[in-house]
Amino acid sequence: MSDHKNQAFVRRLGFALAGLGHALRAERSLRTQAAVFVLVVAALIVLRPGALWWAAVMLASAAVLAAELFNTALEALADHLHPEQHPRIRIVKDCAAAAVLIASLGAVAVGIALAVHLLR
């Protein structure tokens, strides 16, 4: 097994992009979140809010995508280590899914705040 930590930056970036590519191919929920992200960016381009709104929306969007990727990684690891159903593994998976839900609700709240701001 190679040590990913001491590789050149470009090589480590390749590992990260490979993980992202795998997750996008394997997880419908991540593809959905990525599609929503593209729509959000398009909406920001059209609406042209200020830089702080861009930052807030991008940060919220990144949190959702990161939570989804952590959820995917954790589920894959749990399934690999313990393929059969187990109540404690179920709790781990449910908590990871809840993290995605919380991040998504936070992003929706930012979107609502932006809409209220733009309608004033």
Catalytic positions are 68
115-118: long-range contacts, CB 8 A cutoff, minimum separation 24: 117/49, 117/53, 118/47, 118/49
Look up the CATH number of the domain holding residue 100: 1.10.287.3610
Q: Which residue is it, tokens 């959000």?
A: 40
pLDDT digits (tens, 9 = 90+) for 15-25: 999 999 999 99
Residue 69's domain comprises 29-119
| 11 assigned to some structural domain | no
The amino acid occupying position 12 is: R
Average pLDDT, the chain: 95
| 86 assigned to some structural domain | yes
Q: Which two tokens stand for residue 27?
A: 């997880």
pLDDT digits (tens, 9 = 90+) for 56-103: 999 999 999 999 999 999 999 999 999 998 999 999 999 999 999 999
Q: How many domains does the chain have?
A: 1
- Residue 6 pLDDT: 85
| 66 assigned to some structural domain | yes
User: Distance between CA 80 and CA 89 in Å, rounded?
Assistant: 11
- Residue 27 pLDDT: 94
Q: Which two tokens stand for residue 26?
A: 């394997």
pTM of the predicted model over 0.85: yes
| Cβ-based neighbours of 92, under 8 Å, separated by 6 or more | 74, 78
pLDDT digits (tens, 9 = 90+) for 11-51: 999 999 999 999 999 999 999 999 999 999 999 999 999 99
- Residue 2 pLDDT: 58
| 1 assigned to some structural domain | no
